[in-house]
Amino acid sequence: MQAEIEKIRAFIFSNFLFDADQGALENDASFLEQGIIDSTGVLELVEWLEETFSIKVEDDELIPENLDSVNRLGQFIARKTT
Amino acid sequence: MLLTDYLNAGTERHPEKLALIHGARSFTYGEVNNAAMGIAAGLLDFGMEPGFRGVLLNDDPFDYIVSYFGILLAGGIVVGLNTQTTDSSLAYVLNDCQASVLFTAHKFVRHAEAALPGVASLQMLVISGAGENAQQGGKRWHTHSFSDLSERPQPTESGLPFRSSCDFAQIIYTSGTTGKPKGVVLRHANLAANTHSIVSYLDLQPTDRVMAVLPFFYSYGNSIMLTHLAVGGSLVVNQSFLYPNVILQQMLDYEVTGFSGVPSTYALLLNRSAVASFSFPKLRYLTQAGAAMAPEMARRLKSVFPGTRIFIMYGQTEAGARLSYLDPNEIERKPGSIGKGIPGVTLTLRDKAGQPVPLGQVGEIVARGENIMAGYWNRPEETKEVLRPEGLWTGDLARSDDEGFLSIVSRKSDLIKSGSHRIGPKEIEDVLSEHAAVHEVAVIGIPDEILDERICACIVLRPGCECSEKELKVHCKKLLPQYKIPHNIIFVGDLPKTTSGKIRKNELRVLVSTQ
């Protein structure tokens, strides 16, 4: 799962945190609580997930338990691709 | 009528009734009122004089509402700010309104610490949340803990300063298209008139319980808060719309009767949530402001929320929020319309000379009513431009049909409507122009299925300079809040201009949209 985690971090930094220090994002940090992503950012994230990992994110899967941190995303991708 | 009368009346009628539900926390009218009175006592004890400006930079709904009413009870003027801010934006507003008090949360203190040394008027800083402390640290202002203040012994009504409905109650900052944000000054009477009118056409009742997803610092969210407290209803608050399914579950759990959103809220619900698998038997009304509703969206909403009345509304911060609404029964017969003036408001369409335009022709919407603002804070010239003998000139161009239903045709201004935000392009253009590689820039809104508009920056680079989209976004991130960072950055050879050198933004929008 480490490769997925690295890809997710790269996407978050590239699109939302830009040039922030790598230490600015803990893998367990909530995107919501940290104000890292807004509602349109979630849509961009989902679009990227679907394209990058060739998965379909269903509407009822758009919940914080699946999407709200780097680690949760990593686990979600792992579940969807196995 | 004073806005504080809503809280007093609710507390007298039903002190144990829930006024606010936020996550696992809930607060009765009595609890909100007691805490607001405590805040008022603290503000008066520390020497606040009538008319002082109390600024709110806080996204906790209980702290926000209690501070809001505490400031009003102490005779002050509330200035609610967008919590997505930058140090310089905060300093600008604090200085512009000459703030005496800043209420904020611990998580925003870094902005306050950066901004406050340059704000000579500030006397009190009130901090809530984790890490509350009241350390002085040799600062010019006194720092207080929110809980210490809100738990103070409450004054009696006779211990509060005299307040009148003509007093200024609130300053709401709006994005300007040509410069810095302007403070819209609203009297108690303006907001009370608008509240009364909205309550009447939505037929709000004490049994109503609204899902409040819009931030209170914007005019729309502010009116949702006031109208539901005015009738003794309840606010179920979750102002993060990151995960719409969480909101839908809360609507079900708390049996809400109302829901309010902007076009992007409904686009997200319909396109990116599991709304179709939910059922809301108690949901009585939906409201949408910010734009007319596309007929297809109205059809889908009616199908997803059968039996729920859908109100399309139109307004401006300068009107305390609301100017018109479309009767839910007309939504299919009058697609794309914003309806007619709300009770107490007269809308006319006028030409540049101030004359009413003939039926069917396009004119600027001009509004009259008790709800219209007192003016822009310390900006007499800009006030005169929009408050004229005919009423408030809204800058929105519309057409009326033979039954008096209005449809917006276009805006005179370049303001970008993105999600729940109204964004002036000039501020973004100024920031991008500071980049060494940028020769010229024009920022426009381009249509977006979810957001209504995306922010698009069209850049002409200096000869011989190279620069990437990411580099410019990094530059913006240093100087602008997240929601003002352009979604798209496009590099162009030149910008279309008039003979006098003004950028033709309409032409640019067409060019970008067809690319």
d(CA A44, CA A63): 15
The alpha-carbon gap from B272 to the nearest alpha carbon of chain A, in Å, equals: 6
Edge to edge, the sheet with strand B375-376 lists B142-145, B124-128, B101-105, B53-57, B77-80, B168-174, B182-187, B375-376
Q: Do A42 and B474 touch (CB under 8 A)?
A: no
Instruction: Give per-residue pLDDT as tens, B150-175.
Output: 888 888 777 899 999 999 999 999 98
Structure tokens at B263: 């076009």
Tokens coding B359: 């039926």
Say if residue B137's pLDDT is above 60.
no
- Using one digit for the tens of pLDDT, what is the confidence trace for B498-510? 877 788 888 898 8
Question: Which candidate from B84, B264, B477 shows the least CB-CB separation from A18?
Answer: B477
3-state DSSP call for residue B205?
A: coil
Q: What is the arithmetic mean of pLDDT over B227-238?
A: 98
Give me the pLDDT at residue A22, please.
Answer: 84
Contact B50, B73 (CB under 8 A): no
Predicted confidence band of residue B441 (pLDDT cuts 50, 70, 90): very high
- Average pLDDT (A16-25) is 83
Altogether, the residues listed in chain A come to a count of 82
The pLDDT of residue B133 is 57
Residue-level pLDDT at B74? 97
Residue bearing the bigger pLDDT, B510 or B104: B104
CATH number at residue A72: 1.10.1200.10
| A65 touching chain B per CB within 8 A | no
Query: What's the mean pLDDT in A41-70?
Result: 93
Q: Which residue has the higher pLDDT, B372 or B157?
A: B372
What integer pLDDT is reported at residue B515 of this predicted model?
A: 73
The pTM of this model reads: 0.91
The pLDDT value given to residue B157: 75
Average pLDDT, chain B: 92
Nearest-CB residue to A18 (from B272, B451, B470): B470
Q: Are B436 and B459 in contact (CB under 8 A)?
A: no
Predicted confidence (pLDDT) at residue B131 exceeds the cutoff of 80: no
Is the CB of A37 inside 8 Å of chain B's CB atoms? yes
Residue B377 has pLDDT above 80, yes or no: yes
With a cut of 70, say whether residue B134 has pLDDT above it. no
DSSP code of residue B483: G
Give the H or E element holding residue B71.
Answer: helix B61-73
Whose structure tokens read 């009504």?
B157
* Whether residue B416 has pLDDT greater than 60: yes
Domain extent at residue A77: 2-81
Q: Locate all alpha helices (DSSP H) within B14-60, ordered by sequence.
A: 29-45
User: What integer pLDDT is reported at residue B327 of this predicted model?
Assistant: 96
Cβ count near B510 (within 10 Å): 12
pLDDT in tens, B25-71: 999 999 999 999 999 999 999 999 999 999 999 999 999 999 999 99
Answer yes or no: is pLDDT of B433 > 70.
Answer: yes
Which sign, positive or negative, has the C-alpha torsion B22, B27, B32, B38?
A: negative
pLDDT at A72: 96
How far is it, in rounded angstroms, from Cα B282 to Cα B256?
6
Q: What is the pLDDT of residues B341-368, one digit of tens each?
A: 999 999 999 999 999 999 999 999 999 9
Q: Name which of B242, B274, B419 is nearest A60 (Cβ-Cβ).
A: B274
Q: Residue B135 has what pLDDT?
A: 55
Q: Which of B143-147, B347-351, B491-495 has the highest mean pLDDT?
A: B347-351
Gyration radius (Cα) of chain B, Å: 23
Residue that has been written with the tokens 């045709």 in this structure: B409
Which pair of structure tokens corresponds to residue B130? Answer: 């984790």
Counted domains in chain A: 1
| H helix count then E strand count, chain B | 15, 27
Helix (H) / strand (E) containing B25:
strand B25-28
Residues B246/A63, Cβ–Cβ less than 8 Å: yes
Lowest model confidence (mean pLDDT) among A62-71, B5-14, B241-250, B414-423: B414-423
DSSP B79: E
- Give chain B's domains with CATH numbers: 4-163 (3.40.50.980), 190-411 (3.40.50.12780), 416-513 (3.30.300.30)
Q: Where are the beta strands (DSSP E) in B238-323?
A: 258-261, 285-289, 309-314
| A38 contacts B470? CB cut-off 8 A | no
Is the pLDDT score of A64 beyond 90?
yes
Can you tell me the distance from the alpha carbon of B470 to that of B486, in angstroms, rounded to the nearest whole number?
11
CA A35 to chain centre: 14
Count of Cβ atoms closer than 10 Å to residue B169 Cβ:
26
State the average pLDDT over residues B361-378: 97
